[in-house]
Amino acid sequence: MGSALKATVHTFDTPLHLGFSCYLFDTSGRLLLTRRALSKTTWPGVWTNSFCGHPGPQEELTEAVRRRARQELGAELTEIRATLPEFRYRAVDASGVVENEICPVFTAVLTSELAPVEDEVSQWQWADLDAVKRAVAGAPFAFSPWMVEQLEAMAALGGSEQRGWSAPA
């Protein structure tokens, strides 16, 4: 896979590319949900997982996760784990822009205060994972399509693999 500027890749005919999603937990096991800024080109104002991003050329995914957490949330992380390493999705925004990603999903634990960047995050909230699952099931249109699919994929795993979606005991 090559590399290109994000603005030239996310179009009405977006090529398959590498991204990642991260679900950030606090030490109490609560999940950080973020609401995408209204200025975002795609899915403005929807609630989503803690943060997403794209690795730079030759950048390890775990380092990209750390970098993006700092850039978007002002956050430092520990215990970064790949929980859905082969997740892939394609979704079309109401504007017609396509997301088409190989998108490994990570979980991590927050080790600092949050300082979200307004151009990325308009609101944020800590929530119980089961409450989030119920909200997504009841109103999937209020959440990003990748988050809806990722929660479904994790639920399909069940058992011990699903326990990767919580803060350590």
Where do the domains of the chain lie, and which CATH numbers do they carry? 6-156 (3.90.79.10)
43-67 burial, b at 16+ Cβ within 10 Å, e below that, comes to: beebbbbbbbbbbeeeeebbebbbe
Q: Which residues are catalytic?
A: 52, 101
Residues 150-164 have a mean pLDDT of: 74
What is the model's pTM? Answer: 0.90
Strand partners for 99? 91
Binding residues: 10, 17, 54, 72, 99, 101
Whether 8 has a pLDDT exceeding 50, the answer reads yes
The pLDDT score that the predictor gives to residue 160 is: 46
With CA atoms as reference, report the closest residue to 99 among 44, 45, 19: 19
pLDDT value at 13 more than 80: no
φ, ψ at 102 (rounded to 5°)? -85, 120
- Using DSSP's 3-state secondary structure scheme, residue 116 falls into coil
Give dist(CA 85, CA 21) in Å, integer: 10
> Can you say whether the dihedral through the CA atoms of 123, 128, 133, 138 is positive or negative?
negative
Average pLDDT of the segment spanning 88-110 = 94
Binding-site residue set for Mn(2+): 10, 17, 54, 99, 101
- pLDDT bin (cut points 50, 70, 90) of residue 33 is very high
